[in-house]
Amino acid sequence: MEVVIDLEDEQLVKKVSVGTLEYQNYVIYFPKAVEISTSIDGKSYKKQGDIKRAYSQNSDVSLKDFVVNINPTKARFVKVKVTNIGMPPNKGGSWVFVDEIIVE
């Protein structure tokens, strides 16, 4: 999943939170990576930070915010890239569910 958020004017960005859901019984997994990039013009982006997460077995329904703190930077556009697990251990399909993205 890749989303570009237009803040409509330059703002100071210091943190991005990505809310997710996991329910492995229904092949919904937390992301294996979340990457944040910023841009002034919407054309050239600079990677500001990321989170990588190894797979962990979980039989519960879980909500988790993946929070990426970055050095405060001015940006108009914030790109959020969320990478799903791909092929899970059960060899079935996989989904990543994102419910909200907060830019601070």
For residue 52, give the nearest of 83, 29, 80 by alpha carbon: 83
Kindly report the pTM of this predicted structure.
0.93
d(CA 41, CA 45): 8
- Whole-angstrom distance, CA of residue 97 vs CA of residue 74: 29
The answer to whether domain 2-103 has CATH 3.30.450.20 is no
User: Rounded to an integer, what is the distance from CA 29 to the centroid of its chain?
Assistant: 13
Mean pLDDT of 46-62: 95
Task: Assign 81 a pLDDT band (cuts: 50, 70, 90).
Answer: very high
Query: Is the pLDDT score of 63 beyond 90?
Result: yes
